[in-house]
Structure 1
Amino acid sequence: MPRRLLLGVLLMLLPLFAQASGFSRLGELADKGFLIGAEARLLDSGEALGAIEPERQLSPASVSKVYLAAAALDRWGPQHRFTTHLVSLADPDADGVLHGDLVLDGGGDPMLTSEDLWRLTQRLHQAGVRRVEGQLIVSQWRYGPVECITTDRCQAHSRVANAYSALLSSAGVNHGSWCVSVAPAPEPGDPARITNCDSQAPIVGIDNRVVTQPDDSGTRLNAERVLRDSGDVMVVSGQISTNARPRSIYRASSDPARQSAATLLAMLEQAGIGVRDGAGVSATQPPAEARSLAEVESEPLQELLLRTLNHSNNFMADQLALNLVASPRAGLVEAGGALETFVAGLPDHGPVTLRSGSGLTPENRTSAAGVTALLESMYRRPALFPSFVAALQSPANGVMRFLRRGSATFQQHVMLKTGTLNQPVAVRAVGGYFRTRGGQWGVFAALVNGTATTPWLNWRQVLDPLAADLEAMIDAH
């Protein structure tokens, strides 16, 4: 009886083993204690090529951005643009004097840049404005400052050593980050020359601790943005060779709306447009009767999504998610709710928890089956699919160099999005499309989560076996 019982159990489990065999190499991570959810299938035939607990709810990290991309395309379409305005209740008089405040109405453009602010400045000058007898006000009434709900962003208010933890505002510029340029002095031993990237006038404080060294001595720079009583300060240390080219360093600002105000004010003054009362920030919507004096449009949404997903830009992803919320003053919880509402309309998706569009929030949860359901839904929408799939990376040609591994088959037959978290547990997640040797389209997802007791997990441990498993599927069909 025990032998017959064992045989019966094995027969019942055969379908599960057959499915899991498609991810035989990836599945070995389970032996080390990692939690895995994986699924791969062909789209037109529906044939299942492999699965490991595909319904298991796991953290997708930045694979969350494919949900954001799909929801944004569904809401606005590929050619949508965000508009930023300079408005005022006053008109310039014959002498070019604006008797009133000048308001930057932040339109939620996730890729608003210094170049855009400079174009606004030139168009304001073209409109005849030469002086503002009032204040420059940056209005972030749509959203901002957005409450931080992740450790990285909360800590970034006071000090930060990266750009990816940038805080959020509908009037943020340059992905919410300051930029300084470090160049060598003419003589070794002298302090390096450090200036703002966007203005000759100082718009962020600089604490210069970089020493110029002789030719070919090497360049090693460290930078941290700290908030002091005087405002944001970029503390830069290290060395730079006399024959080195200037280096640009980006660090998240403590307040993206105030960063925009300081940057635009410097540009106005550089263009000869004086502002009597300086710059400030407001959360109040400009009056309906305010007239637009200058405006600038963003790149089309399909271009924004390419930048967002290719570079896994957290600032852009969460800005776009916040724009999905209809009511003003939204936070990331509401933005996640808008994404969940979109997912609820997807066939066969199943449960999902999204607290951000970026995936920085460790509470995000979905399943491998959910990710492939989303990918299939976009494949079935021919008007949106080209823009959606173009935002993913080909391992052979993508900007993320760590993807350039595996065989030529994996390199050239796969388009994917990755996700990485290291706290509170290690997360390595991948989802995307593949084309088989016979030209069939397939979808796949692999979510690997650590636990408090699992060892460190690097991308080689996930990508190498996953690439081998996908290569076998691609070659077999």
Structure 2
Amino acid sequence: MSRWLVLPLGLLLGLLLPLGAAGAGFPELERMVERGFLVSAEAKLLDTGEVLGAIDPQRQLSPASVTKAYLAAAALDRWGPQHRFTTRLASDAELNGSGVVAGDLILEGGGDPALTTEDLWRLAQRLHQRGVREVEGRLVVSQWRFGPVECITTDRCQARTRTANAYSALLSSAGVNYGSWCVSVAPGAAAGQPAQITSCDSQTTIVGIDNQVETQPPNSGTELNAERVTRDDGDVMVLRGQISLNASPREVYRASSDPAQQTARTMTAMLEQAGIAVRQGYTTSVEEPPAAARTLAAVDGKPLQELLLRTMNYSNNFMADVLALNLVDTPRSSLLQAGDAIEHYVAGMPDHGPLIMLSGSGLTTENRTSAHGSNILLESMFHRTALFPSFVASFQSPANGVSRFIQRGSSTFQNHVMLKTGTLNQPIAVRSVSGYFRTLSGRWGVFTVLVNGTATTPWLNWAQVLDPLAEDLERMIEAH
């Protein structure tokens, strides 16, 4: 009797393939591995589960802002696409016949990640419509749900004293304008004069301004440098540079040092403009409003599906982490608890594998997932018929997305792919991409590519990742 074992042809071929064939389907992208980068990649069809390409798909790497896809899925699962977060003005004091609130007015932050000055103005108008003309006490901004939230990333910790960006905004359930100040810079009346700088949201100045911008002759160019610093009297926007006499106004955004304090200052300005006087100023609180507090005015935020579109398309870290903090059932939540809530949601997905989430934004470089795990998440949402339209709508099409850097590759790639990207530069370089594709025959597929640098490969740009990925995905799309 023959002692030879007869193997299925597919298995036999698999055993004969060289080790480098682990990158089959991603021949262009695999060159990143040869250059020393850490890569986890996988692409597969959803109708059959056929894997079209893979490079170490179970490897745990940093996903950067691809983390936000996990947050979006968890949020839709928890609340549904039409959920709205409510912000209200309340008081346990009496409102007398003369329109005077005989005590404090409380703004209760409802955890709305997209609360804006427009919403605060609407609250002020509704309070005025209610007959309120004066508050004898203080305006108290309550962030009892969460805030101030402990910073666990370098940029956010530094932003407590100074910052030159808006992406590192600190977090609160009562934050406004994505936790950032905005000022408008316009040319002065003549060359040589200081620029005109005002708050974007009010006729009166809300944030302190240190104006070192000079107006220059027409067509001389505009160069602005802005930093928000915290001084003894509060936040100050320090602006330097020049603006051309015929230039249009420029808006400059920088993270505030205390988002609840920012809300208090902005709400006070809105009340003043509405003709409502607050006699004892403003303060912030981490205490829940008294049970006896009656709602005097309220405003509902935008539906969750619209919040996710903004969070994902613009990769807004403030919105992502505020949404994640809302997932925690207990008050005074932390980013670590928010990460636990996302992990708990994913734990119900068979075959996902390990997951580490320390935030919902991906700013925490310790977040870890794999290409295979990320694809399991995408596949899970694809089969959630009531949620999938809102989920996939938050991914960008390279042909029409808001991010110009993804507009590359052939028309096949640009028009058959929907994706979310992630970027980190410190302490390691990360470029990650995850999303859906449609083949030429109309079949749905998912793909995830995580590329992490090392100490010996510190430089990484999007062309190095997106260009080869576009070529590899184009072949898959056209072949099926």
TM-score by length of 1: 0.97
- How far apart are residue 455 of structure 1 and its match? 3.9
- How far apart are residue 295 of structure 1 and its match? 0.3
For residue 32 of structure 1, the aligned residue among 7, 30, 35 is 35
- How far apart are residue 202 of structure 1 and its match? 2.0
1:368 and 2:371 are equivalent in the alignment = yes
Among all aligned residue pairs of Structure 1 and Structure 2, give the percentage whose two residues are the same amino acid. Answer: 71
1:357 maps to what in 2? 360
**Contact kept in structure 2, 1:55 and 1:367, CA below 8 Å:** yes
Q: 1:246 to 1:425 in 2, by over 3 A?
A: same
For residue 405 of structure 1, the aligned residue among 405, 408, 415 is 408
- How far apart are residue 458 of structure 1 and its match? 0.2
Query: Matches of 1:17 and 1:190 in 2, distance apart?
Result: 65
Query: Matches of 1:380 and 1:121 in 2, distance apart?
Result: 43
1:396 maps to what in 2? 399
For residue 220 of structure 1, the aligned residue among 218, 223, 238 is 223
For residue 25 of structure 2, the aligned residue among 13, 22, 26 is 22
1:434 and 2:437 are equivalent in the alignment = yes
- How far apart are residue 200 of structure 1 and its match? 1.9
1:328 and 2:331 are equivalent in the alignment = yes
After superposition, what is the alpha-carbon deviation per residue over 1:325-382, rounded to whole angstroms, capped at 9, x for unaligned? 0000011000000000001011211100000000000000000000000000000010
After superposition, what is the alpha-carbon deviation per residue over 1:28-48, rounded to whole angstroms, capped at 9, x for unaligned? 011111000000000011111
Question: Counterparts of 1:86-105 in structure 2 under 5 Å?
Answer: 86-105=89-108
1:4 maps to what in 2? none
1:194 and 2:197 are equivalent in the alignment = yes
Q: Which amino acid aligns with 1:402?
A: F
Q: Which amino acid aligns with 1:100?
A: G
For residue 240 of structure 1, the aligned residue among 226, 240, 243 is 243
- How far apart are residue 91 of structure 1 and its match? 3.2
Question: Counterparts of 1:221-300 in structure 2 under 5 Å?
Answer: 221-300=224-303
1:141 and 2:144 are equivalent in the alignment = yes
In structure 1, stretches of 5+ residues that fail to align are: 1-7
**Contact kept in structure 1, 2:141 and 2:263, CA below 8 Å:** yes
After superposition, what is the alpha-carbon deviation per residue over 1:73-106, rounded to whole angstroms, capped at 9, x for unaligned? 0000000000000000023211100001000000
1:474 maps to what in 2? 477
Query: Matches of 1:10 and 1:383 in 2, distance apart?
Result: 42
Question: Counterparts of 1:133-172 in structure 2 under 5 Å?
Answer: 133-172=136-175
Query: Matches of 2:274 and 2:350 in 1, distance apart?
Result: 54
For residue 64 of structure 1, the aligned residue among 54, 63, 67 is 67
- How far apart are residue 389 of structure 1 and its match? 0.1
Query: Matches of 2:348 and 2:19 in 1, distance apart?
Result: 29
Query: Matches of 1:84 and 1:452 in 2, distance apart?
Result: 46
What RMSD in Å do the two structures reach over aligned CA positions? Answer: 1.3
**Contact kept in structure 2, 1:184 and 1:243, CA below 8 Å:** yes
**Contact kept in structure 2, 1:191 and 1:208, CA below 8 Å:** yes
Query: Matches of 1:152 and 1:433 in 2, distance apart?
Result: 32
2:341 maps to what in 1? 338
Query: Matches of 2:193 and 2:71 in 1, distance apart?
Result: 48
Query: Matches of 1:146 and 1:455 in 2, distance apart?
Result: 31
Q: 1:18 to 1:45 in 2, by over 3 A?
A: farther
3-state SS, counterpart of residue 22 of structure 1: coil
Q: 1:11 to 1:371 in 2, by over 3 A?
A: closer
Query: Matches of 1:30 and 1:200 in 2, distance apart?
Result: 55
After superposition, what is the alpha-carbon deviation per residue over 1:107-134, rounded to whole angstroms, capped at 9, x for unaligned? 0000000000000000000011000000
- How far apart are residue 203 of structure 1 and its match? 1.4
Q: 1:13 to 1:417 in 2, by over 3 A?
A: farther
**Contact kept in structure 2, 1:426 and 1:457, CA below 8 Å:** yes
Query: Matches of 1:194 and 1:276 in 2, distance apart?
Result: 28
Query: Matches of 2:29 and 2:155 in 1, distance apart?
Result: 30
- How far apart are residue 12 of structure 1 and its match? 2.4
Query: Matches of 2:189 and 2:109 in 1, distance apart?
Result: 42
1:3 maps to what in 2? none
3-state SS, counterpart of residue 372 of structure 1: helix
Q: Which amino acid aligns with 1:213?
A: Q
3-state SS, counterpart of residue 396 of structure 2: coil
Question: Counterparts of 1:377-396 in structure 2 under 5 Å?
Answer: 377-396=380-399
After superposition, what is the alpha-carbon deviation per residue over 1:217-267, rounded to whole angstroms, capped at 9, x for unaligned? 111111000011111000001111111111110000000000000000011
Query: Matches of 1:268 and 1:425 in 2, distance apart?
Result: 46
2:454 maps to what in 1? 451
TM-score by length of 2: 0.96
- How far apart are residue 19 of structure 1 and its match? 5.1
1:205 and 2:205 are equivalent in the alignment = no
1:126 and 2:129 are equivalent in the alignment = yes
Query: Matches of 1:13 and 1:286 in 2, distance apart?
Result: 69
**Contact kept in structure 2, 1:347 and 1:377, CA below 8 Å:** no
**Contact kept in structure 1, 2:228 and 2:238, CA below 8 Å:** yes
Aligned residues: 470
**Contact kept in structure 2, 1:18 and 1:50, CA below 8 Å:** no
In structure 2, stretches of 5+ residues that fail to align are: 1-10
Query: Matches of 1:274 and 1:214 in 2, distance apart?
Result: 43
3-state SS, counterpart of residue 68 of structure 2: helix
Q: 1:13 to 1:90 in 2, by over 3 A?
A: farther
2:47 maps to what in 1? 44
After superposition, what is the alpha-carbon deviation per residue over 1:45-89, rounded to whole angstroms, capped at 9, x for unaligned? 111100000000000000000000000000000000000000000
Q: Which amino acid aligns with 1:32?
A: R
- How far apart are residue 186 of structure 1 and its match? 1.3
Query: Matches of 1:467 and 1:439 in 2, distance apart?
Result: 18
3-state SS, counterpart of residue 17 of structure 2: helix
